[in-house]
Structure 1
Amino acid sequence: MAVLPPGSTLGILGGGQLGRMLSQAASRLGFNVVILDPEENCPAARVSQGQIVAAYDDPTALTVLGRVAQAVTFEFENVPAASVATLAEGGALVAPGPKALAVAQDRVDEKTFLNGVGATTVDFVAVDNLDNLLAGLERLGTPALLKTRREGYDGKGQVWVRSAEMAADAWQAIGERPAILEAKADFTRELSVIAARGRDGAIAVYPLGENVHAGGVLKTTIAPAGVDATTEARASAIATAVLEGLEYVGVLGVELFDLGNGALLVNEIAPRVHNTGHWTQDGCACDQFEQHVRAIAGWPLGPTAAHARVEMTNLLGDEVEQWTALSAEPDARLHLYGKAEARPGRKMGHVNRVKPLV
Structure 2
Amino acid sequence: MSAIKTLLPGSVMPEGRLVTLGVMGGGQLGRMFVQAAQEMGYYTAVLDADPASPAGLVSHFHIQTGYEDPAGLAELAARCDAITTEFENVPAPSLQSLAATRPVAPAASAVAVAQDRIAEKAHFVACAKAGGVGPAPHAALETAADLAAVGDELLPGILKTARLGYDGKGQARVKDRAELAAAWDGMGRVACVLEKMLPLKAELSVIVARGADDQVVNFPVQRNLHRDGILAVTEVFDGNVPAELAERAIATTATVARQLGYVGVLCVEYFVIDDGSEHGGLVVNEMAPRPHNSGHYTINACDVSQFELQVHAMAGLPLVQPRLHSPTVMLNLLGDLWFQDGQAIDPPWAQILALPGTHLHLYGKLEARKGRKMGHLNVTGASVEQVQATALRCAELLGMAPWR
Task: Judge same fold: TM > 0.5, yes or no.
Answer: yes
1:82 counterpart SS class:
helix
Distance apart, 1:134 and its partner CA: 4.3
Aligned residue in 2 for 1:192 = 205
Distance apart, 1:279 and its partner CA: 1.2
What are the Cα deviations for residues 122-142 of structure 1, in whole angstroms up to 9, with x where unaligned? Answer: 111111245523432x34332
TM-score under structure 1 length normalisation: 0.96
Q: Choose from 257, 263, 285 the match for 1:243.
A: 257
CA RMSD of aligned residues (A): 1.5
Tell me, yes or no, if structure 1 residue 337 matches structure 2 residue 352.
Answer: no
- Does the aligned pair in 2 maintain the 1:133–1:181 contact within 8 Å? no
Q: Give unpaired runs (5+ residues) of structure 1.
A: none
Aligned residue in 2 for 1:296 = 314
When structure 1 is superposed on structure 2, of 253-262 and 332-341 the one drifting more is 253-262
Looking at structure 2, the residues matched to 270 and 53 of structure 1 have their Cα atoms a distance apart, in angstroms, of 25
Q: Choose from 33, 42, 48 the match for 1:31.
A: 42
Tell me, yes or no, if structure 1 residue 275 matches structure 2 residue 293.
Answer: yes
Aligned residue in 2 for 1:113 = 123
Looking at structure 1, the residues matched to 381 and 145 of structure 2 have their Cα atoms a distance apart, in angstroms, of 52
- Does the aligned pair in 2 maintain the 1:124–1:140 contact within 8 Å? no
When structure 1 is superposed on structure 2, of 325-334 and 198-207 the one drifting more is 325-334
Looking at structure 1, the residues matched to 107 and 76 of structure 2 have their Cα atoms a distance apart, in angstroms, of 16
Looking at structure 1, the residues matched to 383 and 46 of structure 2 have their Cα atoms a distance apart, in angstroms, of 37
Distance apart, 1:235 and its partner CA: 1.2
Q: Choose from 237, 241, 248 the match for 1:227.
A: 241
1:40 counterpart SS class:
coil
When structure 1 is superposed on structure 2, of 316-325 and 38-47 the one drifting more is 316-325
- Does the aligned pair in 1 maintain the 2:138–2:154 contact within 8 Å? no
Identity %: 44
Aligned residue in 2 for 1:255 = 269
Tell me, yes or no, if structure 1 residue 308 matches structure 2 residue 308.
Answer: no
- Does the aligned pair in 1 maintain the 2:117–2:162 contact within 8 Å? yes
- Does the aligned pair in 2 maintain the 1:249–1:296 contact within 8 Å? yes
Distance apart, 1:228 and its partner CA: 2.7
- Does the aligned pair in 1 maintain the 2:46–2:59 contact within 8 Å? yes
Tell me, yes or no, if structure 1 residue 71 matches structure 2 residue 82.
Answer: yes
Tell me, yes or no, if structure 1 residue 62 matches structure 2 residue 65.
Answer: no
Q: Give unpaired runs (5+ residues) of structure 2.
A: 11-18, 339-345, 385-404
Matches of residues 108-257 of structure 1 in structure 2 within 5 Å?
A: 108-118=118-128, 119-136=133-150, 138-224=151-237, 226-257=240-271
- Does the aligned pair in 1 maintain the 2:174–2:183 contact within 8 Å? yes
Counting matched residue pairs gives 356
Looking at structure 2, the residues matched to 144 and 346 of structure 1 have their Cα atoms a distance apart, in angstroms, of 27
Rg larger for: 2
Distance apart, 1:183 and its partner CA: 1.0
TM-score under structure 2 length normalisation: 0.85
- Does the aligned pair in 1 maintain the 2:205–2:221 contact within 8 Å? yes
Q: Which 4+ runs in 1 deviate beyond 6 A?
A: none
Aligned residue in 2 for 1:41 = 52
Looking at structure 1, the residues matched to 191 and 264 of structure 2 have their Cα atoms a distance apart, in angstroms, of 29
